[in-house]
Amino acid sequence: MKDGPFHETAYTILPDLEVLAFPINLTHVETPTQQLGSFLSIGWGMMADIDTESEKWRFMGNLRLFFGAVVRLIDFRTYKGRLSYLRSEPSEAKTIEPTKVYGTSVSSSTSAKSSTVKDEEDLTEFFEAHHGSDYGKIPRLNEEIPENWETIEDEFLLVYAMSLSHISNNGDYVHQASLVDDQIYLTYILKNDVDSRINVTKFLLAVEGYFGRSGHQQFDFFRMVAVKSFRLEPIDTGSVITVDGEAIDCPKIQATATNINISVMSK
């Protein structure tokens, strides 16, 4: 793999004695066969297809997404599915101060509490044990949707759920998000709400920051709701679900916000 801007930044940060660790909340992702931890996004529909289908042009850098969008706009398709979610209760934005990476010792009491996840059964127990009291109110993927969840069964253009603010370097997709949010920002577009491909084109350009910060949120067909958990069940075949940009082979998926942290080094 060739060194690029990411590697150059990493090489600069790693040896810096003043580097800081910033906590980021994980999302618990459940499929019929896997338990995953996500830190960024879960996608289905147009934006997920643009990402995965343009992988063959990765040598072009971010320009691959432009050509992927052109292909998807020409070969326009919609995605029939069922989207269920539990709204998140309003909460104040949380801030956690970063910590120094070097020169910080881990206490013996903290070390004694560290966990080792050996298999997927352990991973499920780990999420359930560390999520907090709210986790008991969330059904498992193989259980029925509770009455206090909302469900939409329709033809979608896209479903995209974010845990962080940026979808790319310039794409401030959910500026409302913070690093330690205890909720997921679930966004979607319904086929019947879109009046033209021209507006979809403008939307995709706005996602990349061409119309100012989070300009895509100004489109009437764009829907966003803060949720504690959601379940996505594609009805049509042939669609791809992505987790943090990687395609996941599964017929349905459920994601739940947690208070489990990972740390990212920055300065």
Beta strands of the chain (E only): which ranges? 20-30, 35-38, 41-45, 79-87, 99-100, 150-162, 184-190, 223-234, 241-243, 246-248, 253-266
Task: For the chain, give the mean pLDDT.
Answer: 83
Q: What confidence category does residue 136 fall into, taking pLDDT thresholds of 50, 70 and 90?
A: low
Q: Which comes out higher in pLDDT, residue 118 or 93?
A: 93
User: Does residue 53 carry a pLDDT above 90?
Assistant: no
Backbone phi, then psi, for 222, in 5-degree steps? -80, 125
The pLDDT assigned to 137 comes to 78
Residue 263, pLDDT score: 81
Q: Bigger pLDDT: 49 or 114?
A: 49
Angle at 154 between CA 149 and CA 155, to 5 degrees: 140
pLDDT for residue 95 is more than 80: no
Q: Which of the residue ranges 79-88, 138-147, 233-242 has the most confident prediction, judged by mean pLDDT?
A: 79-88
Sign of CA dihedral 24, 87, 32, 140: positive
How high is the pLDDT of residue 259?
82
Q: How far apart are the C-alpha atoms of 189 and 97, rounded to whole Å?
A: 36
The band of 107, judged by pLDDT with boundaries at 50, 70 and 90, is very low
- CB 188, CB 158: distance < 8 Å: yes
- 18-266: CATH class: mainly beta
- What pLDDT, on the 0 to 100 scale, is given for residue 124? 65
Q: What is the pLDDT of residues 149-208, one digit of tens each?
A: 999 999 999 999 999 888 877 778 998 888 888 899 999 999 999 999 999 999 999 998
User: Quick one: pLDDT band at residue 130, thresholds 50, 70, 90?
Assistant: low
Q: Which residue has the higher pLDDT, 138 or 119?
A: 138
Instruction: Report the pLDDT averaged over residues 37-48.
Output: 94
The mean pLDDT of 48-70, rounded to a whole number, is 81
Please give the distance of CA 70 from its chain centroid, rounded to a whole number: 23
Reply yes or no on whether the pLDDT at 106 is more than 60: no
Position 114 confidence tier, pLDDT thresholds 50, 70, 90: very low
Domain ranges of the chain: 18-266
| Per-residue pLDDT reduced to its tens digit, 218-256 | 999 999 999 999 999 999 888 899 999 999 999 999 999
